A and B are shown apart, each in its own frame.
Chain A
């Protein structure tokens, strides 16, 4: 226990980096998700196909391979990425694919007659999208994105494998340093500590997501709010 307390400043720095990556990738995923998710419900078959391909590809390849590809593969395109940048890009592309599914699901969950009625009232397509479809879809989209944040926070650990100094990587360093300097292997305590902190963090986020869902559903009356959250993968992979 004293080992954990002695290294607390380090752990806190790692935890901060984890949260930072989580928030940054959530923002990037939201942007990618909204753009692609909107394109996925347009009338253009080609656009829909492109989005479908992107989503399926990113969901079929293990996330860690994806991050390795960006980190080790960037030099192929004449880029030199830091581990931090590679992890953020890899996670954002993955989060963006899942975000696109969420947004698409949310938009398709709005009953058809809403757009039809708006069209009958003479609203233009952009007006219908912004004033009619999006606000109703948001009810399903917001809790799903909160769920996505939980997954993203969990997946930041993969950054450790390319050397991002996030929570897990810092803990690895603490284990190594203590083993070398003091001759004892504290892996059990340290990784148990990491597990507990992650559990507290992520279960709070999961709880927040469920809470948002119930609050927004209550506000929407008895009507079902679509199934955006069920389109989220239940786990990082």
Chain B
């Protein structure tokens, strides 16, 4: 089977639309996951009764179950409770809930590195619990947690390919769909390979840049 550029060119518009869906679903899920991560880690840090152990269990549960089953549960199982989401949003929610668990754990670890002496210094300056968290804890803890949180973001992007299984027309879905119709594997797999490697590379580069920028106050 030879590589046929003309065939590939003809499929590009559809693949482009798929790529846009992949990027949209991942980007929205990343933002929601980040917000949920900060929120969850705050609850864990402040040891809010009942909620904190609940979140601990949530994190353990999400980390020890396959994402694909979580997606199936959200897409096919939840409608039984009257919770029917549009496919795109079901994808966003499943990716966001999954990544949030990893974010909570990373950020909890990051906040734990903010030492007792800083906390005492904050108290001495009259900072309340929330003020300390917002002004000292989170800015410092986030910096520590950032590398692993950004890794989770890269994983999220890659795992958006699993949404193919629930029928969301993202990049992998489009490519596999074309393969099933035209049996031109080589072209489609080349596209998937190049695009995913490029996306992961770009996201990693952005992550490194962000880490560099945020370390600025600490460089001499």
Contacts and interface: CB of A to CB of B under 8 A. Distances in A.
Nearest to A77: B1
Nearest to B162: A64
Contact of A57 (B156, B159, B197): B197
Contact of A187 (B80, B102, B151, B179): B80
A57 B194 CA distance: 10
Interface of B is mostly: helix
Contacts of A155: 66
A211 interface: no
B77 A191 contact: yes
A62 B158 contact: yes
Interface stretch (A96-104, A199-207, A212-220): A199-207
B197 A61 contact: yes
Nearest to B204: A60
Nearest to A69: B189
Interface stretch (A82-90, A107-115, A156-164): A156-164
B76 A168 contact: no
Given A158-B68, A188-B81, A206-B64, A233 B185 contact: no
A199 B61 contact: yes
Contact of B152 (A73, A190, A206, A235): A235
A189 to B, nearest CB: 8
B67 interface: yes
Q: How large is the interface on A (under 10, 10 to 19, 20 to 34, 35 or more residues)?
A: 35 or more
A160 B72 CA distance: 12
A65 B172 contact: yes
A76 B73 contact: no
Nearest to A150: B64
A65 B78 CA distance: 27
A175 B66 contact: no
B217 to A, nearest CB: 26
Contact of B65 (A65, A75, A158, A198): A198
Contacts of B185: 72-73, 75-76
A65 B158 CA distance: 9
Interface in A165-218: 168, 172, 175, 185, 187-188, 190-192, 194-195, 198-199, 202-203, 206
- Give the most central of A68, A188, A202, A203: most B CB within 10 Å: A68
Contact of B196 (A61, A172, A234): A61
A65 B77 contact: no
A157 B69 contact: yes
Contacts of B201: 60
B27 interface: no
A75 B184 CA distance: 11
B164 interface: yes
Contacts of B140: none
Contacts of A10: none
Interface of B: 1, 60-61, 63-70, 72-73, 76-81, 102, 148, 151-152, 154-156, 158-159, 161-162, 164-165, 172, 176, 179, 185-186, 189, 192-193, 196-197, 200-201
Given A68-B172, A161-B68, A234-B63, 11 more contacts: A61-B158, A62-B159, A63-B158, A72-B176, A72-B189, A73-B189, A154-B65, A160-B165, A188-B78, A198-B69, A236-B66
Which 4 pairs across A and B sit closest by C-beta, in order of nearness? A188-B80, A237-B155, A62-B161, A202-B64
30 contacts: A60-B196, A62-B158, A65-B192, A68-B172, A69-B192, A72-B185, A72-B189, A76-B1, A154-B67, A160-B165, A161-B68, A161-B164, A161-B165, A168-B68, A168-B72, A172-B72, A187-B77, A188-B77, A188-B81, A195-B61, A198-B69, A199-B65, A206-B63, A233-B151, A233-B155, A234-B152, A235-B67, A236-B66, A236-B67, A237-B159
